[in-house]
Amino acid sequence: MNFKRIKTWAATLLVGSSLTLSAAAPAVAQKADNWPNQQITFVIALGPGGSADRTARLVAQQMQEKLGVPIRAINQEGGGGHVGQVYFRNMPKDGTFFLVTSIHPYISSAILNLDADYSLDDFAFVNGQWTDMDLFALNAKLPYQTMDEFIAAVKEQPGKFRISVV
């Protein structure tokens, strides 16, 4: 895996298990007295209509009213958020681009499985909007009562079980 770290000096908005909005980039911090002075873009790394999309658009609407600059929300979906994360990282690092994505499991999955050229350290957590609960469920007809029982059965019977992640 390639864990090459290229620091992203831009604002970041991460939504899902944790919604985060980063502080402005160092370049922006030097000009804080006149920021924002141009359109802001929310890059939503997930599909339209989901919780990340809806939240980003609501936040954009409220921020636009407070900041007095237009805020555009665009979806760059695909690869479990990876497409949007790469798109975001290629945008100017001037504090006018924010990333909206689920921090778990999408970013970590892209890092581990898609040979991403970024790490979690490249994103700045700023704001937790809500928490999504993870759930592990089995068919009620199966005899397992605990996760330990199920894991033991999987180890004892390789290839027998199939899983799905939603």
pLDDT, position 2: 30
Q: What is d(CA 70, CA 68) in angstroms, rounded to the nearest whole number?
A: 7
* Enclosing domain of residue 106: 13-122
Q: Which CATH number does the domain housing residue 105 bear?
A: 3.40.50
The pLDDT assigned to 48 comes to 94
Per the omega criterion (within 30 degrees of 0), is the bond before 36 cis?
Answer: yes
Number of domains, the chain = 1
> Does residue 153 sit within a domain?
no
User: Judging by beta carbons within 10 Å of its beta carbon (0-12, 13-18, 19+), is residue 136 exposed, middle or buried?
Assistant: exposed
pLDDT digits (tens, 9 = 90+) for 23-40: 334 444 445 678 899 999
Q: Do residues 64 and 96 lie in contact, with contact meaning Cβ atoms separated by under 8 Å?
A: no
